Amino acid sequence: MFTTRCYLPCFVFILWISLGLLHIGAADDDLIVDKPVTENCLECLCEAKSNCNATKICVNGACGIFRITWGYWTEGGSLTLPNDTSLSEEVFSLYFLAFTNCVNDPICAAETIQKYMYKYGQDCNGDGRIDCLDFGALHKMGNLRCQDELPYTFGRIFHKCLKRKERDAKSKESSITK
């Protein structure tokens, strides 16, 4: 029971616990709270989407190495490249150009993914945590359908890439401890 007398000590206690948990989270996986997607995860997303082909191209309205759509980009905060910042939403064609310029730029596209996942991150596969498997499902199928099964080809490449990253991390770890 929280009585008023407990207010300050309890507050300090809860703060201490929260900071502790944040710290553990950070040590665990380089997890930065508002950038939930790791570098490895981003690499597997582009591998499964485009084989990380950096050709500036749109395929059925999905552009760049991560094949980001217009809707995804707007959900992810409509980020723009530095030289596109003065564009307004009213001038639709310029706004559309700002979209293709951003998502065809690997960094702007990756930032869009971070914002999208920060906003919609959820345990799509019900395994009790929110990790790259969920980000893959969110990226491919969106936040409303991320519980569905991954399309075969995307899923195969994505899972293979994650396994490879895991193996690489393990062999790096063991070579450090040797």
Would you tell me which residues interact with ligand NAG (CB under 6 A)?
53, 55, 57, 81-83, 101
What's the rounded Cα separation, in Å, for the pair 42 and 32? Answer: 14
Q: Which residue minimizes CB distance to ligand NAG?
A: 53
Distances (CA, A) of 115 to 30, 77, 133, 166: 17, 7, 17, 25
Pick between residue 75 and residue 84 the one whose CB is nearest to ligand NAG.
84
Q: Which is nearer to ligand NAG, 3 or 88 (CB)?
A: 88
Compute the least distance from the CB of residue 81 to ligand NAG, in Å: 4
Least distance CB 66 / ligand NAG (angstroms):
14
Nearest distance from C-beta of residue 125 to ligand NAG, angstroms:
30
CA atoms within 13 A on the CB side of 13: 6
Burial 50-66 (b: 16+ CB within 10 A, else e): bebeeeeebeeebbbbb
- Closest to ligand NAG by CB, 81 or 141: 81
Min. distance of Cβ 72 from ligand NAG in angstroms? 20
Query: Residue 55 or 93: which CB sits closer to ligand NAG?
Result: 55
Nearest-angstrom CA–CA distance, 50 and 135: 16
CB-CB neighbours of 44 under 10 Å: 25
Nearer to ligand NAG, 28 or 90 (CB): 90
Cα separation, 103 vs 78, whole angstroms: 10
CB 165 → ligand NAG: shortest distance, Å?
A: 21
